[in-house]
Amino acid sequence: MNERIAIVDMGTNTFLLLIAEKNGREFNSIYQDRIATKIGKGGINGGFITEEAIDRAMAALKQFDLKAKEMHVTKAAAIGTSAIRNASNRQTLITRIQSETLFQSKVISGEEEAHLIYQGVRQAVNIPDSKALIVDIGGGSVEFIIADAHQAFWKHSFEIGGQRLMERFHHHDPILPEEIQNIQHYVNEKLESLFEALAKWKPEVLIGVSGSFDTLSEIYCKENSVPYSNAPETPLTIQAFQSISQRLYSKTREERMQIPGMIELRVDMIVVGCCLIQCLLDRYSFARVTVSTYSLKEGVLTTL
């Protein structure tokens, strides 16, 4: 028997809603929405969520709550990630979610987040036996998973997400070359254990997960007359990434918005996201890159 389930990924920059019909292990997405709540803004590097951010979060969740009720959802979960799990005042938000919406909230660890991302990606992409590095760049944390289609060999969550990098390093528009260098130096230091794992497991494919990768893929498709859809897997090439990222570095926010495929939701964080991706490509050679539009929320669905 089908049941309707609503999942909210309460990300640091964006709250993502997925409503799906589930029958056993199979699910079918019937509605999706996203709202830029920016709950990490102004507090993420201090370990708290501002009052304004809590209000933005609750406004989004109440909107999602109305849609879930309208679509007769029988089970609803809201999953808290980096900005929430590291906030000293997270209970204030959790209490309001429990009392003001139908969503059952759960705050997950970085390791749990990486596991759920892997479960989501494996529903979308045929991961090769030669292994892949799965990368999900969030606003608060970045998850890395080295896996094949059957198992994850190594996974870790690092608190170096886009909002953290922006507030720490990205202070000019366009970004300055020295700011790019500072980000890459910082990321290289933080990811030393990842580079050791890459040398050990030797994945061939880079699978970028949603977020900035979605936008990079859409820009690539529009520039190369490739049909872009909301399919579980969308295309990107390493060469295209190099070209697109160089242009993004040189443009102001307003100029970035003029690029076909760019959206308001990604225009700020995509610059530091590109800096992070470039660090990976500088330190390790991948045969190819692809993009999964499935991530945490689809992974959560497999567990319910």
Write down the pLDDT at residue 26.
Answer: 84
CA dihedral 135, 206, 121, 299 (to 10 degrees): -20
Distance (Å, whole) CA 274 – CA 256: 13
Write down the pLDDT at residue 25.
Answer: 78
Shared-domain flag, residues 96 and 130: no
Shared-domain flag, residues 63 and 152: no
Distance (Å, whole) CA 263 – CA 253: 11
Shared-domain flag, residues 169 and 78: no
Using alpha carbons only, give the angle 254, 255, 260 rounded to the nearest 5 degrees. 110
Q: Which residue has the tokens 């390790």?
A: 284
Tell me if 170 sits within 8 A of 267, measured CB to CB. Answer: no
112 inside domain: no
Q: Could you say which of 65, 80, 107 is where a domain stops?
A: 107
Shared-domain flag, residues 164 and 273: yes
140 inside domain: yes
Shared-domain flag, residues 137 and 264: yes
Distance (Å, whole) CA 114 – CA 294: 13
Q: Which of 10-14, 41-45, 68-72 has the least mean pLDDT? A: 41-45
119 inside domain: no
Task: Report pLDDT digits (tens) over 25-60.
Answer: 788 999 999 999 999 999 888 999 999 999 999 999
Work out how many domains the chain is built from and give that number: 2
1 — pLDDT class (breaks 50, 70, 90): low
Task: Report pLDDT digits (tens) over 150-191.
Answer: 999 999 999 999 999 999 999 999 999 999 999 999 999 999
Shared-domain flag, residues 168 and 295: yes
Task: Report pLDDT digits (tens) over 71-108.
Answer: 999 999 999 999 999 999 999 999 999 999 999 999 99
- Full residue range of the structural domain in which residue 23 is found: 3-107
Shared-domain flag, residues 188 and 269: yes
Tell me the β-bridge partners of 107.
80
